[in-house]
Amino acid sequence: MPVANYEQYCQMLEKASKEQFAFTAINVTSTSTANAALKAFADTKSDGIIQVSSGGGQYCSGQALNDMALGAISLAQHVHLMAEKLDICVALHTDHCHPDKVESFMIPLIEETERRRAKGEPNLFNSHMFDGSELPLEQNIAQSKQLLERCAKNQIILEVETGVVGGEEDGVNNEDMPADKLYTTPEEMVQIAKELNPIGKIMYAATFGNVHGVYKPGNVKLRPTILRDGQDAVEKELGPEHRHLLVFHGGSGSELSDIHETLGYGVIKMNVDTDTQYAYTRPVVDHMMKNYDEVLKLEGEVGNKKQYDPRAWGKKAENAMTDRIIQSIKDLKSDGKSILC
């Protein structure tokens, strides 16, 4: 079916919250990686979220343009076309838009949706993430309010973040971040609910030691109970209807027990990027090493077109990425739970 509309997206998120499962949110950088995600969702009868970062959009636009917004539009249009043929709901989201990229990335995408809506067409993206975690909290909230007001007018959900996700992703390096910055406080969770919920619908990336990338066991100190304590504080002060729809960033490589614990505290979306990057690349390396003499034209030889044709190794890459996403879908317990089932 077509990409989820606003009502369907809200239904997806509320179902996940009520039934304590989460959607796999997959970062994509090409039509190939988008297709891998779509197949995984369809094969498991799970709704899902496909997301594009500013770096992913820039890459997709090609080196002649390096236009992050245009590349994101191109990827979103591809997903809109392909999703029509599937019997699950897919939502489109943008990931980690930092303050310095709002004008060049998020605003052009909101404007594109506004143009589409003026013509009676569906939204381009269902939700956007503003990552103002590098700002002082009051400034983060103030800018989030401005963006949420515009998003709410266009039935777009805004994802926000307080605290900082450690590690490195998409060119942003937080590897040396002080440990206390990696943990959102209950007071912050209450303040976000109090100031943003009256404006529009949000998702909230509260941090509890999350780190982008994959690290050796024991190197990442997740404290999921931070989410529990924050939700309890919100419910106590504002009521249960203000509990957050939480997002788990830095999900690649996390212990399954930690993942499952967060589902009980309101996590309805988990970002998976590093693990799928590796899953996509590993079979390509394997193909090239096993067929080294055939993918190169050396010393007058012509190679083997069947081996260096990008489709030969591209299909292997897609299939491996699909398999890794299916694993994540099952880990997050969303398989077989499409709102269309």
Amino acid (1-letter code) at residue 91: A
Label residue 177 by pLDDT band (50, 70, 90): very low
> Which residues participate in catalysis according to the annotation?
95
- Does domain 6-331 bear CATH number 3.20.20.70? yes
| Residue given tokens 């506004």 in the structure block | 114
Q: How far is CA 170 from CA 54, 162, 221, 279, in A?
A: 8, 18, 22, 18
User: How many C-beta atoms surround the C-beta of residue 179 within 10 A?
Assistant: 9
| Alpha-carbon gap, residue 320 to 75, rounded angstroms | 20
Residue from 62, 131, 67, 141 nearest 102 by CA? 131
**The pLDDT of residue 220:** 57
User: How confident is the model over 41-75, as pLDDT tens digits?
Assistant: 999 999 999 999 999 999 999 999 999 999 999 99
Give 208-252 pLDDT, tens digit per residue: 987 755 545 455 578 999 999 999 999 999 999 999 999 998 776
Residue 281 has pLDDT above 60, yes or no: yes
Paired sense of beta strands 166-169 and 246-248, if any = unpaired
**CA gap 104, 169 in Å, rounded:** 19
How would you list the strands of the sheet with 166-169, edge to edge? 172-174, 166-169, 211-212
**Mean pLDDT value of segment 258-281:** 96
Residue 111, Cβ density class (10 Å: 0-12 exposed, 13-18 middle, ≥19 buried) = middle
In 3D space, the residue among 203, 214, 212 whose CA is nearest the CA of residue 269 turns out to be 203
More confidently predicted of 175 and 157: 157
Residue 254: what pLDDT? 78
Q: How far is CA 130 from CA 44, 65, 94, 151, 305, in A?
A: 30, 24, 9, 11, 45
* Mean pLDDT of the residues in the chain: 92
Measured CA to CA, the distance from residue 204 to residue 240 in angstroms comes to 16
Residue 8 CB contacts under 8 Å (≥ 6 apart), including other chains:
89, 339
Residue 298 pLDDT more than 90? no
